[in-house]
Amino acid sequence: MGKSRGPVWVIAEQIDCRILEVSFQLIGHGRKLAAALDTTVEAILLGHKMEEHPRQLFAAGGDRVYLGNDPELAVYQPEIYTEIIEKLAKERQPEIILVGSTAMGRELAPLIAARLDTGLTAHCIDLVIDGNKVLESRIPAYGGLLSIICPDRRPQMATIATGVFPNPEPDESRTGEIIPIEVPKKIPRRIQTLEVVREEPEGMDLESATIVVAGGAGAGDPAGWRKIAGLAEVLNAALGATRPAVDEGWAALETMIGQSGKMVSPELYIGVGLSGELQHMVGISGAKIMVAINNDAKSPVFEQVDYGIVDDYREFVPVFIEKIKEYQGKLKTC
């Protein structure tokens, strides 16, 4: 018999005392990983006035919660959070640490990984345990699906976006152990989050939209981008973008769909002037019906959708809009 493996950890995240969905999703999937490794699932929860919240993490599948409950932890404080998790990880030796691909997670995860001298895989779309009991983190890249491993160092770390794994069915009868953690007294305190300001999101929410129109590099210029935005408007759709479109400055970072952006699963997805790069396509793999409009018949996007239109989008989109309006007009009259 080998020695027993360390637990699977999830760094839970809360905003205004509400635990984010991704934290539950990671605990849910963490259970599967833990079963394959014959170990437990544990969550780290840092915040203030969070006494009652560990219950939710147990219901999602957690066995143990390390709870830091202190006014100093109310909002994300990089130095303190890193210090607490580093110390705890060195003590408890987790086998795996999963972190949500949120703004906080994307900063905190590399801080922890570097402190623990270990590897960290970004924005995974699947996590499995292989035959050697090693974590395989799957990421799409360059037309293939890569499995990244961290064979020799522990913990194995990965970040995962909201929506990659399903919400676990809560089991209110599950219970677990709460271990309180203290705020360390000796930390440098060279950095402080003074305030967290939330603004009303602009435009339609991509994650809850039933129709998503996305544009890519093929949009060509801001005028072209507005044409694509016009299609979204007619369909009452949320407007998304690929990374090159964000790079060009046509679209905001928050509208980026894909592995390092948002994961969406609308009823209808229409991709305009984009090439079907996997980094983008994994973000919409949950769509019911997918359409692509691209003037290059050889574009890889035409291998990944339900309906393809080979045409110059600048010419096609206005005609398409007219036909949609015609249909919408008919709906109103009858």
- Asked whether position 233 contacts another protein by CB under 8 A, the answer is no
Q: Which of residues 286-315 bind another protein (CB under 8 A)?
A: 288-291, 297, 300, 302-311, 315
Of 186, 200, 223, 329, the one binding another protein by CB under 8 A: 200
The dihedral region occupied by 95, where left means phi > 0, alpha psi between -120 and 50, and beta the remainder, is alpha
Q: CA-CA distance, 126 to 142, in Å (whole number)?
A: 17
> Rounded to 5 degrees, what angle do the CA atoms 316, 318, 319 make?
65
List, in sequence order, every residue forming a beta bridge with 214; answer none if it has no partner. Answer: 240, 271
Name the region of 198 (left: φ>0; alpha: ψ -120 to 50; beta: rest): beta
Binding mask 9-38 for another protein (x = CB under 8 A): ------------------------------
List the structure tokens of 116: 């623990």
What is the C-alpha to C-alpha distance for residues 106 and 213, in angstroms, rounded to an integer? 27
Residue 128 phi/psi, 5-degree rounding, is -135, 160
Nearest to 259 by CA among 168, 166, 158: 158
- Cβ proximity to another protein, 2 vs 143, nearer residue: 143
| Residue span binding another protein (CB under 8 A) among the ranges 47-55, 62-70, 75-83, 178-186 | 75-83
117 binds another protein, rule: CB under 8 A: yes
Nearer of residues 173 and 201 to another protein, judged by Cβ: 201
For residues 170 and 210, which CB has a smaller minimum distance to another protein in the complex?
Answer: 210
Binding-site string for another protein from residue 234 to residue 253, where x marks contact by CB under 8 A and - marks none: -x-------xx-xx-x---x
To the nearest whole angstrom, how small is the minimum distance from the Cβ of residue 3 to another protein? 21
Instruction: Report if residue 191 touches another protein, rule: CB under 8 A.
Output: yes
Tokens of 92: 């408890």
Nearest C-alpha neighbor of 239 from the set 275, 279, 211, 268: 211
Ranges within 118-157 binding another protein (CB under 8 A): 118-123, 130, 136, 140-153
Q: Does 227 bind another protein (CB under 8 A)?
A: no
Closest distance to another protein from the beta carbon of 181 (Å):
21
Nearer to another protein among residue 79 and residue 174 (C-beta): 79
- Asked if the bond preceding 244 is cis, omega within 30° of 0, the reply is no
Q: Which is nearer to another protein, 14 or 275 (CB)?
A: 275
Cα 237 to Cα 229: distance, rounded to the nearest angstrom: 9
Q: Which of the residues 80 through 109 are near another protein (CB under 8 A)?
A: 102-104, 106-107, 109
**Based on CB atoms, which residue is closest to another protein, 128 or 179?**
128
- When binding is defined by CB under 8 A, the residue of 172, 173, 223, 327 that contacts another protein is 327
Q: Are 289 and 268 in contact (CB under 8 A)?
A: yes
